[in-house]
Chain A
């Protein structure tokens, strides 16, 4: 059966952010069943629910902009109320995961993997100095290339990520560190926040290399995906599913990472 496609936007914060992309897929399979959403199954020897996830979120990062597309029974889809669906899905999800929006999408809509061109990230680099960070960012944005070392299929490569760094803004408003807002391309290969930070060099003659940005220990880096963007042929930028446009009409939780953790998902 060909189902009706629905797209869901969800957030991931707190302890649950340490789950992997595969874990999140399993969590959603169970949650959709708990919410009694009739997802269509593939035919064949080993039927699987037809659910497609967008770009993987690195384990440990949080997000206000995760997406999935699911094929559901058309008869059921015809009768659903988006706002109630959003509530039902959130109720079925573990603490820390929240459904932000849900809506039917056209059958011809390109898949999330193909359509999304860039993401906006909020990156908190604890221990970094705001002045040095601003200088490092300016120089990076002015540079012709930004080289990072990456591992691809077990082999180390040196890639220039400069074309994929669309914008970086420095905000000095977190305790003991620097907050960056960065828009990073996802194609041809997604740039991760850790890779951006690894490419930022301390100013010449400043603090010793390694003490600030290079490299930022993974334990001191916290990032949150704020948006995923689709660039249309006309060059316009839109979200796969804007929170304000469909489904439940509310903004994603405008709380800082620190307050989410502070509120705690446990006792």
Chain B
């Protein structure tokens, strides 16, 4: 439908985001026996294109003879209005093929605030937003990504959701669909959904019966004996088997993270209790250093980028990171390639690493201590001492950085006003350290409101109210008002209320999402489009009690909306970790200390894949011991051999 779209493009902002034609784009062959996937990111092209998960599945599917995959992104309001006026559906960027022609429209769910956009995209595709109203000829609507660990708020709109790593799951799903199509679509839509419910890691909401007792959720149970009572996540055992994306898409127009991205490991066992990503992606699976080198060198050569990001949840933890970084800079042959480590750990070692790689272009440094006091950081298990932070900051100033950014959360469990105000104190101390090195040191403090997530120890915690979050931000603002060198930045916590509702809601929250969408609430993660009133009046109209979902502390014996899904983590492990948090007891990183059986490895017969059984030097590294001053690393021998140790 390019010829229909083309006349509209001169009338819209940033038309380049609708043209596709990127280097790395595939032009797949569609045929009756081929299962066609429209991989859709429910936000703008600029936000969605760099998404690595989508790009990985795009390549894996297109390498299969029985699959064809194209991509779509949410059109901005100006184009959407024109498309609706002209009667044009959502389309793929690769061949500008109408969305309704695909067998599957699969959404990447990276954040809860995109949910209303998901509904909008389904509607733009000409498909009924409610799964129950779809006909046999409609595409199947699927979803993957971190938010699918609680897909219940979207359960009435999705035909299926995939939990965990998608690399193998998309192949299994394709095989089921290809077989169903080839054998004359037995059982129609319901028939294929029933078959999909048997694919490991695939959750089909319509195959489960939900029971309530008044406001209380009583059970979510399978309707049929062949449908699993608990859907377990998928985990790829070894990242070395999946060197994707092999041909990262190179956009023609500016996008976020506009650089080569190479995933160096997946999973994280630092155990930060607020961090859903760290909990649900366990165990740690490192990519072999040699493969990282190859992917970086070939990627830079092919794309022409002058920046590469080594991505993971905590890249400085990658075994032998110094060596990999040195090789990357050397392989590039000249000093013009810069390497970025998107998630820096807070210690002097990491700063040394940053100094080594930012020779070309030295921007600011960002650290995330997350909380102001050591007590608070033990509660959240981000075991960084004040000394760790100060030595990192000192090291950064001494190596020429002048600007630093510190990330914090507020609204954490057990947080008191002194904890909140300690954030200001830390920032002031960092500026004071900087004065020894530069006349005008600058520290930006960025504060976010904490939203509890499923499958974390904090899943039982009642989120702070909007009033409370605003009060805490106000405390900091007042305290820092006359502090030279410290800038405070915060997002208005209003959106965190909607995020909290969507992240821990059950199926009844779906009505609220639909109501918000029907009243024009799209692009909710864009602050200029977010309107809290719309969510509150929607909740009221749907009879949904926001307090009960968001602000109420939950109990161990209550049924959580995601109890029929599993990220591998034992519920009693999470509960114990929650009790430990309240007792201010930290938990060590199990990469380097014995297994405490969270369930992520033992349940699936997988293990950490790490090249070194020794924690990296510098800082206390969550071991509670100051390693930077030559103390012994308290590593005990593991009870079982490391799978990847000899790699």
Chain A interfacial positions (CB closer than 8 Å to B): 14-16, 18-20, 22-23, 26-27, 29-34, 41, 45-47, 59-60, 92, 94-96, 218-221, 261, 264-267
Q: Closest CB-CB distance, B338 to chain A, in whole Å?
A: 10
Report the Cα distance A179→B10, complex, angstroms.
Answer: 19
Inside 8 A of A30's CB, which chain B residues have their CB? 250, 303-305
Contact (Cβ within 8 A) A266 B96: yes
Contact (Cβ within 8 A) B362 A92: no
Output the nearest chain B residue to A35 by Cβ-Cβ distance: B304
Contact (Cβ within 8 A) A18 B361: no
Of A18, A22, A26, A45, most buried by chain B (CB within 10 Å of CB) is: A18
Contact (Cβ within 8 A) B6 A261: yes
- A23 with B252, Cβ < 8 A, contacts A31-B304, A34-B303, A96-B21 known: yes
Report the Cα distance A15→B93, complex, angstroms.
Answer: 11
Q: Closest CB-CB distance, B558 to chain A, in whole Å?
A: 52
Inside 8 A of A22's CB, which chain B residues have their CB? 254
Report the Cα distance A196→B18, complex, angstroms.
Answer: 28
- A15 with B361, Cβ < 8 A, contacts A33-B306, A266-B2 known: no
Contact (Cβ within 8 A) A92 B252: no
B440 within 8 A of A: no
Contact (Cβ within 8 A) A218 B253: no
B360 within 8 A of A: yes
Report the Cα distance A31→B22, complex, angstroms.
Answer: 13
Contact (Cβ within 8 A) B254 A23: yes
B20 within 8 A of A: yes
Chain B interfacial positions (CB closer than 8 Å to A): 2-3, 6-11, 14-16, 18-23, 27, 94-96, 250, 252-254, 258, 301-306, 336, 360-362
Report the Cα distance A264→B9, complex, angstroms.
Answer: 16
Q: Closest CB-CB distance, A71 to chain B, in whole Å?
A: 14
Inside 8 A of A221's CB, which chain B residues have their CB? 10
18 more A-B residue pairs beyond the given contacts A19-B253, A47-B361, with a C-beta to C-beta distance below 8 A: A14-B21, A15-B20, A19-B16, A26-B258, A27-B252, A29-B304, A33-B306, A34-B301, A34-B302, A34-B303, A47-B336, A47-B360, A94-B21, A94-B23, A94-B252, A96-B21, A218-B11, A220-B7
Contact (Cβ within 8 A) B21 A20: no
Inside 8 A of A14's CB, which chain B residues have their CB? 21
Contact (Cβ within 8 A) A265 B21: yes
Inside 8 A of A45's CB, which chain B residues have their CB? 361-362
Q: Closest CB-CB distance, A171 to chain B, in whole Å?
A: 22
- A219 with B16, Cβ < 8 A, contacts A47-B360, A94-B252, A267-B95 known: no
Inside 8 A of B6's CB, which chain A residues have their CB? 261
Q: Closest CB-CB distance, A60 to chain B, in whole Å?
A: 5
Q: Closest CB-CB distance, B442 to chain A, in whole Å?
A: 15
Inside 8 A of A15's CB, which chain B residues have their CB? 2, 19-21
Q: Closest CB-CB distance, B22 to chain A, in whole Å?
A: 8
Inside 8 A of A34's CB, which chain B residues have their CB? 301-304
Contact (Cβ within 8 A) A266 B9: no
Report the Cα distance A218→B82, complex, angstroms.
Answer: 14
Contact (Cβ within 8 A) B96 A16: no
Contact (Cβ within 8 A) B20 A23: no
Output the nearest chain A residue to B25 by Cβ-Cβ distance: A266
Report the Cα distance A173→B434, complex, angstroms.
Answer: 70
Report the Cα distance A121→B22, complex, angstroms.
Answer: 28
Q: Choose among A23, A219, A261 the residue that contacts B8 (Cβ–Cβ < 8 A).
A: A219
Inside 8 A of A220's CB, which chain B residues have their CB? 7
Report the Cα distance A219→B8, complex, angstroms.
Answer: 6
Which 9 A-B pairs have CB atoms at the shortest separation, nearest pair first? A30-B304, A34-B304, A18-B15, A33-B304, A15-B19, A219-B7, A19-B16, A218-B10, A60-B10
Sample of 28 A–B contacts (CB below 8 Å): A15-B2, A15-B19, A16-B252, A19-B16, A20-B14, A23-B252, A26-B254, A29-B304, A30-B304, A30-B305, A31-B304, A32-B304, A33-B305, A33-B306, A34-B301, A34-B302, A34-B303, A47-B361, A60-B9, A60-B10, A94-B21, A94-B22, A95-B21, A219-B8, A219-B10, A265-B21, A266-B2, A266-B95
Report the Cα distance A266→B95, complex, angstroms.
Answer: 6
Contact (Cβ within 8 A) B19 A16: yes
Inside 8 A of B306's CB, which chain A residues have their CB? 29, 33
Inside 8 A of A33's CB, which chain B residues have their CB? 304-306
Inside 8 A of B27's CB, which chain A residues have their CB? 266-267
Report the Cα distance A23→B16, complex, angstroms.
Answer: 9
Q: Choose among A23, A60, A92, A96 the residue that contacts B253 (Cβ–Cβ < 8 A).
A: A23
Inside 8 A of A95's CB, which chain B residues have their CB? 21
Contact (Cβ within 8 A) B21 A16: yes
Inside 8 A of B8's CB, which chain A residues have their CB? 219
Inside 8 A of A219's CB, which chain B residues have their CB? 7-8, 10-11
Report the Cα distance A33→B300, complex, angstroms.
Answer: 9
Inside 8 A of B254's CB, which chain A residues have their CB? 22-23, 26
Q: Closest CB-CB distance, A189 to chain B, in whole Å?
A: 22
- A18 with B7, Cβ < 8 A, contacts A23-B254, A30-B304, A267-B95 known: no
Inside 8 A of A94's CB, which chain B residues have their CB? 21-23, 252
Q: Closest CB-CB distance, A218 to chain B, in whole Å?
A: 5
Q: Closest CB-CB distance, B255 to chain A, in whole Å?
A: 10
- A46 with B10, Cβ < 8 A, contacts A16-B21, A27-B252, A60-B15 known: no
Q: Closest CB-CB distance, A48 to chain B, in whole Å?
A: 9
Output the nearest chain B residue to A221 by Cβ-Cβ distance: B10
Report the Cα distance A96→B2, complex, angstroms.
Answer: 15
Output the nearest chain B residue to A32 by Cβ-Cβ distance: B304
Output the nearest chain A residue to B96 by Cβ-Cβ distance: A266
Report the Cα distance A47→B250, complex, angstroms.
Answer: 22
Of B11, B18, B21, B302, most buried by chain A (CB within 10 Å of CB) is: B21
Contact (Cβ within 8 A) A92 B304: yes
Q: Closest CB-CB distance, B594 to chain A, in whole Å?
A: 47
Output the nearest chain B residue to A60 by Cβ-Cβ distance: B10
Q: Closest CB-CB distance, B427 to chain A, in whole Å?
A: 25
